[in-house]
Amino acid sequence: MRTAIIGAGSLGTIIGALMAKGGRPADLIDTDSAHVEALNRDGARHRRGRAAGVRSGLSARSDVGPL
């Protein structure tokens, strides 16, 4: 089961990245299309390195649409 996280700010991104790193896929939903593009291109990074470079299992989108 995938989890949708509304709001890909710092907290939403960290939670989503840690979930994905732990094997639980997550969709981050945010209205900032530049941030969404950067997340999909570069993955999520946590400053302390816990979730550095998480890409697998994590996706970002700017619309809710069908998940």
Per-residue pLDDT of the chain (67 residues; tens, 9 = 90+): 889 999 988 889 888 888 888 889 889 999 999 989 988 888 887 666 554 555 667 788 888 776 5
Q: What is the pLDDT of residue 55?
A: 61
Q: Kindly give, in sequence order, each residue whose CB lies less than 8 Å from that of residue 24, ignoring residues fewer than 6 positions away.
A: 3, 57
Q: What is the pLDDT of residue 34?
A: 92
Q: Residue 55 CB: number of other CB atoms within 10 A?
A: 14
Q: What is the pLDDT of residue 44?
A: 80
Does residue 60 come out as left (phi exceeding 0), alpha (psi in the -120 to 50 range) or beta? beta
Q: What is the pLDDT of residue 18?
A: 85
Q: What is the pLDDT of residue 30?
A: 93
